[in-house]
Structure 1
Amino acid sequence: MNYEFYQYRRLNIDPCDDLLTNRYMISKRLGNGLTSTVYLLEKIINKSSVKTLSFYVIKILTNNSYAKYFTTEMKITKELKKIHNSKKFNLYFQDILYSLSSEQSKQLIDIVHYLYNCHVIHRDIRPQNLMFDYDTNHIKLIDFGCAITYDIDDKAGSIEIIGTTIYAGLRFLDFCSKLITGVYLPYYEYERTFDLQCALNIIISMCNYDIKEKIYSIEILPDIHKKQSKILELWQDTQRTNKHYSKLLNLIKDLDKLYKSSTFDVCKDEIEQIFDQ
């Protein structure tokens, strides 16, 4: 194994670790987050007659204490795949998305709709967790380590905050701004539409260069207090200045109250208007 490439002193892995009986080696990094780093494993050429896949994906935890999130991811994705034999949540992906077309945006809404019907909240929908599968020409959602499920009464209860904040809804961001000042404890009762709000903000940001640039400038801010206030201000300004975004937020509010599944189709129709601007 290549010790220099692995930089193993900084990662929770040793270059001598057995990667599928030493038939694979890490070829490149695909992405990284708070809890883990994802790498592409490439098959080492040998004369073995055993047929194996040419590539695998490996997720390396940044700390062993994050193992519970990996266990959660395995459990939830396994259950989701059982329902309707869905292929939307395969852990294998091919390319990171840096922009979204109108059709891909609708696919993202469909994925969130599917989660909604399964009583699952992903909690970490952000561009880095959206991949594209060229074989099926479809969006893939990955990293279910932060996901939670609802009970039959549509309640998840207050739970520790983890996952995205940059693309979260206004209610959550307002809560976080008060959390930083010590008004609230770091526990939040996630609404069922949390993922839909995140998906909407991603769609808006990825089809609007100005918003995308502002988000980037906010993400690199070292001061967490300033970061939270700036991102809240950005989405509030967007609500005031973008009539389609404002209408979509109102649709989501209605969904929170009435739980009308058809709202997702209405959202997709309204999203088309964003791309037609």
Structure 2
Amino acid sequence: MEIFVNKAIHNGIINYLNDTNNFNKIHLFEFWVVKVLARIYDEINIINPYKLGKEDIFKNNLLIYGMNDKEIDSFVKYMNEYNTWLESSNNSKTNILNKICEILINMILAKSDEREISSEDLAFFNSFFIPTDPELIKIKKLTTDDLDMIPKLWERKKAWFTQNIVLEVKPPELLSPEDYKRYGLSIDEVKQLSNLKIREINDNILKEDAENVEGGRTNTKDEPLKLVLTSGSGFVDTVVLLSIMATEIMIGLLIAFWFLRR
């Protein structure tokens, strides 16, 4: 088969397709680059043009998130220069890898403007730009003296699309409306509270129910269940205190009106 785009990209795709079978470690970096491209643009947009022998489609697919022709041409050029360095007998240090990685980071940033970067993809990108693979680290050490440039750049740039990522907090499960009603609460009121307060109320209700069961107490219409307001729940204690204060204020106002009418 003819060389696809250039030797570096061609060898990277070959290794990507072989993966663990007949894997050529000489082309490990190119393999990682293609894996990154497949994560950014989806595998079908990277591998299908290769299988069809359509270099123009491959390059056009790298433009879909807003990269310009000059940037893609530079990427292809740097990949070719890396292959030249790899095949050279004079393997002096070069900054080609850093230039390639910088363009890959820009590709990820461009995608983040259009689509959310998943936590799985983010972890994968971390493993490339801040490598833990001993073989990949070895290649980077052989290639460049500036090993900190890309990790620092990646940490700084990824803040643009990770600042809105928040940990998903699982809300507490609500009890049945009847459970809350037995304690003088409506489920709509409970839904307006914070997760912490809901958990406090749920714990109090479940604790009270458990104590009633252990004590052989049953709920009847003449004997409604009551929450223990001094159980340590700051929320419940606050509600009781505010209720008492409101009652005292109302009594004070009624007394004042009574004196004024005399």
Bigger fraction of residues in strand: 1
Q: Which has the larger radius of gyration?
A: 2
TM-score (norm 2): 0.28
**With structure 1 as the length reference, what TM-score do the two structures score?**
0.26
